[in-house]
Amino acid sequence: MSRVLPAEADLRRVIGDGEAIPDGEVDGLAADDLLQLYRNLVLLRTYDERSVVYHRQGRIGTYAIFWGHEALQAGSVFALEGRDWIFPAYRESAIGLLRGIPVSTVLSWWRGHPSGWWNPTEYNVASICVPIATQIPHAVGFAWGSALKGEDRVALTLFGDGATSEGAFHEGATFAGVMKAPVILFCNNNQWAISTPVSAQTAAPTLADKAIGYGIPGVRVDGTDVLAVYEATRDAVLRARAGDGPTFIEAVTYRAAPHATADDPSMYVDADRVQEARENECVGRYARYLTRLGVLSDSLAEEIKTEALEVMRAGIAQAESEPPADPSLVFEHAYVDPPPSQHADEAELRRILGG
Ligand SMILES: Cc1ncc(C[n+]2csc(CCOP(=O)(O)OP(=O)(O)O)c2C)c(N)n1
Ligand SMILES: [Mg+2]
């Protein structure tokens, strides 16, 4: 029987600070790969920043901001092959952009429009889960099923620190460990579950410690270091492909933005920590690393940003050009046997919408 004790306590890091802390590098990544990773980061950052503006302009609904969490999304996905699957939560709503899901589709999801749903098998990206931790058993079951079918696929599921207190996390992690499912349980420990601090989620010193109880290796990584995230996920992918089962990765970050556009964190959040997280944010940190390496110039960075802004402009225009949804969709799949009031309810909704 393999031993998994103890979980890693130190944070894995690759990117230095250009001064006392030296830069590392990751084997196997050429300059083109490093730049592709940068483009992915900028696309996610631009998506997020524009979405907050679109929300303020009333063009999308309440939006879960992921500013500062781009590195853990881009870094983990970069370690996968296209045949591997991603199971995201609302915090990773735009992760499918890295698999070719159009910007307009994800924006439509936040507009509550049916064109915001995609066929998961087209991109190997499952639907966004809003109920906390429910994507974990989905990913584990999928991974186990794939292994039984003899497919060489790994599943990556992302969730928050708060999710580790949910029954669905326990069920998924138990199953993953026992069945040696080829799955990566990727936890974004951003220190907050809305206003609940991580200290209220567990008395264990780290979230990676939780993995021990499930017989799963627990790894801790600096979640703002895209290369460290990539490397840790790549190790986990190799383990999974070798038949050695799941890995739990705790990516440590600090939530530098409100939980969502409907939240006011000034009541509870530590302003100094937010300031520090903003100064060390992952896109700028990686840009400075690439500049030190001589791979990125100011003009190329500008070009990449301009491209991403253009993709966003086209995406919102496309999303807004969708014809209004048919209100009966709200009711159509809700009941096997519709209640007698359904007809009147639908008529009332149409009246309110003026249709
Ligand atoms: C099952 C369930 N319970 C409660 C909620 C309400 N809720 C929405 S977000 C959230 C906090 C989740 O925190 P965390 O898992 O740390 O993820 P983060 O939002 O920080 O990415 C809660 C409790 C929910 N969506 N689903
Ligand atoms: Mg959290």
**What does the pLDDT look like over 64-85, one tens digit per residue?**
999 999 999 999 999 999 999 9
81, with CB counted inside 10 A (0-12, 13-18, 19+), is exposed
Cα of 182 to ligand 2 centre, how many Å? 24
* Active-site annotation holds for 255: yes
What local confidence, expressed as pLDDT, does residue 224 receive? 98
Q: What is the identity of the amino acid at 150?
A: G
Cα of 138 to ligand 2 centre, how many Å? 20
Average pLDDT over every residue of 298-316 = 98
What local confidence, expressed as pLDDT, does residue 1 receive? 44
- Which one of 69, 132, 186, 263 would you pick to mutate in the ligand 1 pocket, going by the greatest count of ligand atoms within 8 A of its CB? 132
**How far separated are the first and last CA of the chain, in Å rounded?**
64
Cα of 167 to ligand 1 centre, how many Å? 13
Ligand 1 atom having least distance to the Cα of 190 = 20
Please list every protein residue whose CB sits less than 6 Å from any atom of ligand 1: 91, 130-132, 160-163, 188, 190, 192-194, 259
- Rounded to two decimals, the pTM is 0.96
Catalytic residue among 138, 255, 285, 289: 255
| Sole residue written with tokens 């109920």 | 131
Sequence-ordered strand ranges (E) for 168-305: 183-189, 192-193, 196-197, 218-222, 247-252
> Residue 220's Cα: distance from chain center in Å?
17
What local confidence, expressed as pLDDT, does residue 5 receive? 59
